[in-house]
């Protein structure tokens, strides 16, 4: 199998962390593919032109980090997924993914020329990030293991530190939790830009 990723994509990092935590890294070839290069091979893997994208052994592909992580999980006896009825764990993963989406959108908006940036949308995404952080801060003590919720949360928080420094300043519990989680081999091996 082949996995198209970018070393600065939080979505790619989520999959790469899961891959290591599931001990599957030997079975998948990692292909670095910056999504803004408009690569034909990436477009063949994902018509949306986004990373991550996973090419399966039969040549078909899966894309979107949540879908890829669930597929990888299905290949193992151990699992990163919560019990099927553990809706709060799924909620936590969804919240962290949504915060990542808001942060990514904010980063991309800030890349546009100043005169073309939408202050309305920037404020909307900043507010969404702050609300998500407040919720995560209030519930961070529930993240005690290594599962898809904790991986997604860790990658989202690390992405904020990477691209939007200062957002975590008012969330000390998140900072402490992230520092501990970043000691994991999977997080060290997938640092942004590596």
What does the chain look like in DSSP terms, one character per residue? -EEEE-TT-HHHHHHHHHHHHTT-GGGSEEEE--GGG--HHHHHH-TT--S-EEE-TTS-EEESHHHHHHHHHHTSSS--SPPTT-HHHHHHHHHHHHHHHHHHHHHHHHHS-GGG--HHHHHHHHHHHHHHHHHHHHHGGG--S-SHHHHHHHHHHHHHHHHSTTTTTT-HHHHHHHHHHTTSHHHHHT-TT-
Give the CA distances from residue 118 to residues 95, 98, 121, 123, 163, in Å, rounded to whole numbers and listed in that order.
24, 20, 5, 9, 18
pLDDT category at 96 given cuts 50, 70, 90 is very high
Phi, psi of 61 (to 5 degrees): -135, 155
Instruction: Calculate ∠ Cα 113-96-51, nearest 5°.
Output: 60
pLDDT digits (tens, 9 = 90+) for 41-93: 999 999 998 999 999 999 999 999 999 999 999 999 988 887 777 788 889 99
pLDDT category at 37 given cuts 50, 70, 90 is confident
Structure tokens at 66: 């949540």
Structure tokens at 187: 């997080």
Residue 76: its pLDDT value, please?
Answer: 93
Residue 38: its pLDDT value, please?
Answer: 79
Instruction: Calculate ∠ Cα 115-116-119, nearest 5°.
Output: 90
Give dist(CA 120, CA 171) in Å, integer.
Answer: 24
pLDDT category at 36 given cuts 50, 70, 90 is confident
Residue 86: its pLDDT value, please?
Answer: 79
- List of residues 6+ apart from 161 with CB closer than 8 A: 167, 168, 178
pLDDT category at 155 given cuts 50, 70, 90 is very high
pLDDT digits (tens, 9 = 90+) for 106-153: 999 999 999 999 999 999 999 999 999 999 999 999 999 999 999 999
For tokens 């990542």, the residue is 100
Count of residues in the chain: 194
Domains of the chain plus CATH, in order, are: 2-74 (3.40.30.10), 87-189 (1.20.1050.10)
Question: What's the gap between Cα 163 and its chain centre?
Answer: 13
Residue 108: its pLDDT value, please?
Answer: 96
Residue 115: its pLDDT value, please?
Answer: 96
């Amino acid at each position: 199998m082949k996995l198209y990723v970018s070393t600065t994509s939080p979505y790619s990092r989520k999959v790469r962390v899961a891959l290591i935590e599931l001990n599957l890294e030997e079975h998948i070839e990692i292909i670095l593919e910056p999504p803004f290069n408009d690569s034909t091979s990436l477009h063949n893997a994902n018509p949306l032109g986004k990373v991550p994208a996973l090419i399966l052994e039969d040549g078909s592909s899966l894309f979107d980090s949540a879908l890829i992580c669930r597929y990888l999980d299905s290949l193992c006896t151990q699992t990163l997924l919560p019990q099927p009825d553990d809706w709060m764990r799924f909620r936590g993963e969804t919240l962290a993914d949504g915060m990542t989406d808001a942060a990514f959108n904010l980063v991309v908006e800030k890349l546009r020329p100043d005169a073309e940036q939408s202050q309305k949308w920037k404020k909307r995404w900043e507010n969404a990030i702050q609300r998500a952080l407040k919720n995560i801060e209030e519930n961070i003590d529930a993240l005690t293991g290594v599962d898809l919720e904790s991986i997604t949360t860790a990658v989202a928080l690390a992405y904020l530190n990477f691209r939007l420094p200062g957002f975590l300043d008012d969330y000390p519990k998140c900072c402490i939790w992230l520092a501990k989680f970043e000691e994991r081999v999977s997080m060290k091996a997938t640092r942004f830009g590596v």
